[in-house]
Chains A and B, each alone.
Chain A
Amino acid sequence: MAPLLQVESSTKRFGGLLANREVSLAIEAGEIVGLIGPNGAGKTTLFNCITGYMHPDEGRIVFDGADVTRTRPERICRLGVARTWQVVRAFGRMTALENVVCGALQRTNRIAEARARAGALLEFTELRGRGDMPAATLTLADKKRLEIARALATRPKLLLLDEAMSGLTPIETAAAVKLVRRIHEELQVTICVVEHVMEVVMPLSHRVIVLDYGVKIADGAPQAVVRDSQVIRAYLGDRRAAR
């Protein structure tokens, strides 16, 4: 069976900077994939290419059998890819419920139906009672949950989480990890997480992909990847890798 998402030697340049160099990867339906790498490794660029906010200079991206290399973000969402953002982007002047309603309206034109679905998703993401609050007034942790609820409302097949846990306290992080697991198990959504916190990615992911300076340097089971000498060098420097 063809993978749900296939990135074929995608290259993205910003002037002289190679943000992604011939990155190839595949995500199978039902996986949780961790995408890691030091700052500036090109993780968010890759996310932006997959979700249509940027288009790769070379290479090809195929989602669910459709070539989406040059497709606009809203169409990619319709095909079944949803994302969250490194810096939260809630609709600040709308209420939490209305934020999620906007997502749900992707799959229905009826406001009542969208509201019901949004209410259920606020429940699912443990935002019950926050529905009537303006999104701008929520805490960071709640805003991140709200973004996830809004993304889920579009009924995605693949959910891309860009640093869904950064800036959270350890307790909030644990709750977020639990939420990601529940999305995977209860809603059967394939998930790709970008994350800095190794303690989060390693136990959560079935498979880990490592980017460094725009190049994929490792792809495999978490236990194998942490022992990979190139990965250790990228994260800890040459001296450690030599040991």
Chain B
Amino acid sequence: MARLALVLGTLAAILYPIPLQIQGTTYYQTVGFLVLITAMLGVGWNVIGGWAGQFDFGPQVFFGVGAYTAALLYVKLGVEAWLGLLAGVAAAAVICAVLTYPLTRLRGHYFAISTVAIWMIAQPIGATWEYIGAAQGLFIPMKAHAGIVGSAVALQFSGPTKALGYYYSALVLFALTVALMAWVERSKLGFYFRAIRDDQEAAESIGIDSRLYKVLARSITAGVFAAGGVLYAFWALSVFPEQVLELNWSTLPIMATVVGGIGRLWGPLLGAVILIPISQIMSTTLGTGPLAGRGIDLIVYGLIIVVIAAFRPTGLLSLPWARWFGRRRPAAA
């Protein structure tokens, strides 16, 4: 059943934009892009928040680190986007490790607050550091590219295929992230992260260096956020501090993860598929009316979170789907 869902889901994700594109609509491709980028960040956040059990509310810092690293390399040295992406991921992982190691002395709420504090420190740095453009940010100039391949290599799409190109780029990055995190989950790292979440002292008593593995978990999360940041920067063709260090880059993926199922590999995708279209529907249907742009979508998000927290705190994926729809015995989660 799970395999069938995976195959059908993959086919749907690949094929659904095609009739729309032929018809001349690009709106739903952009929605799909936002769903995938949110889901991808959620899958990354699951590592520190879901498996290692450490509430990190500051991963958007590394979204920014990724965006800035790739944009700077592109603007100042002409480094191509995908290489910049690798550099951004590496920079975020290293900076995260250095910043997080001292924080791992803190636990529970104190750790969570410290991650927010680092984000608050990052904001004025982004807004005032001249080298990275300060408050004016960085602009990523478009280059002329030869065909689809050229655009894909440069991660720069324009015109009527812009939305489609970024949608498929996001799909590739999302698939890579899920594949990597599936491997992490089954590896020694996955076992050690969950051991620390369930009982840190007991984990230490069987030889797990809790501080080291918390740093590793958060650096993996940071790497995924950095990749998302690079993708976003090339989509927006710019990097502004208030844009890439925006709180929503952590709250939306975290909400998606909680709604879908915290600690479950596919939870963030389910959550993002539910949450992101809601905000898009709200902003289009409410249009220019009196409620437009007043954050009605956030009220709906809040209600969804309340309902999930009250009735199914382990998320929608933890519902007994296999028993409802599967013929075979449900596999252990």
**A residues at B contact (CB < 8 Å):** 51, 53, 72-74, 77-78, 82-83, 85, 89-95, 98, 101-103, 105-106, 109, 111, 132, 147, 150-151, 153-154
> What per-residue 1/0 map shows which CB atoms of B191-204 lie under 8 Å from chain A?
11011011101111
Most A CB contacts (10 A, CB to CB) among B197, B203, B204 go to B204
- Which of B203, B209, B332 contacts A102 (CB under 8 A)? B203
- A78→B194 contact, CB < 8 A: no
Known: A73-B201, A103-B206, A105-B192. 4 other contacts (CB 8 A): A74-B207, A91-B199, A94-B195, A109-B188
- B199→A111 contact, CB < 8 A: no
Residues of A within 8 A of B199 (CB): 89-92
- Nearest neighbor of B187 in chain A, beta-carbon distance: A111
Please report the C-alpha to C-alpha distance between residue A53 and residue B200 in the assembled complex, in whole angstroms. Answer: 12
- Which of B191, B198, B209, B210 contacts A101 (CB under 8 A)? B191
Taking the nearest CB of chain B, how far is it from the CB of A146, in angstroms?
A: 11
Residues of B within 8 A of A78 (CB): 207
Q: Number of contacting residues on B, CB 8 A?
A: 21
Please report the C-alpha to C-alpha distance between residue A73 and residue B202 in the assembled complex, in whole angstroms. Answer: 10
Interface members, chain B 171-214 (any A CB < 8 Å): 186-188, 191-192, 194-195, 197-199, 201-210
Given A94-B194, A105-B192; A89-B201 close (CB under 8 Å): yes
- A93→B192 contact, CB < 8 A: no
Residues of B within 8 A of A82 (CB): 205-206
Please report the C-alpha to C-alpha distance between residue A72 and residue B191 in the assembled complex, in whole angstroms. Answer: 21
- A91→B194 contact, CB < 8 A: yes
Please report the C-alpha to C-alpha distance between residue A105 and residue B209 in the assembled complex, in whole angstroms. Answer: 13
- B332→A95 contact, CB < 8 A: yes
- B191→A105 contact, CB < 8 A: yes
- A53→B201 contact, CB < 8 A: yes
Interface members, chain B 289-333 (any A CB < 8 Å): 332
- Nearest neighbor of B212 in chain A, beta-carbon distance: A74
- B201→A74 contact, CB < 8 A: no
Most B CB contacts (10 A, CB to CB) among A77, A85, A102, A154 go to A102
Residues of A within 8 A of B209 (CB): 72, 74
- A73→B188 contact, CB < 8 A: no
- A89→B202 contact, CB < 8 A: yes
Complex A-B: 15 CB contacts under 8 Å = A77-B206, A89-B199, A91-B203, A94-B194, A94-B198, A101-B191, A102-B195, A102-B206, A103-B206, A103-B207, A106-B206, A111-B186, A151-B205, A153-B206, A154-B206
Residues of A within 8 A of B202 (CB): 85, 89-91, 147, 150
Please report the C-alpha to C-alpha distance between residue A73 and residue B196 in the assembled complex, in whole angstroms. Answer: 14
- Nearest neighbor of B210 in chain A, beta-carbon distance: A74
Please report the C-alpha to C-alpha distance between residue A98 and residue B333 in the assembled complex, in whole angstroms. Answer: 12
Please report the C-alpha to C-alpha distance between residue A154 and residue B210 in the assembled complex, in whole angstroms. Answer: 16
Residues of A within 8 A of B204 (CB): 53, 72-74, 77
Taking the nearest CB of chain A, how far is it from the CB of B214, in angstroms?
A: 13
Please report the C-alpha to C-alpha distance between residue A106 and residue B198 in the assembled complex, in whole angstroms. Answer: 17
- Nearest neighbor of B209 in chain A, beta-carbon distance: A74
Please report the C-alpha to C-alpha distance between residue A105 and residue B186 in the assembled complex, in whole angstroms. Answer: 12
Taking the nearest CB of chain A, how far is it from the CB of B200, in angstroms?
A: 9
> What per-residue 1/0 map shows which CB atoms of B104-131 lie under 8 Å from chain A?
0000000000000000000000000000
- Nearest neighbor of A88 in chain B, beta-carbon distance: B202
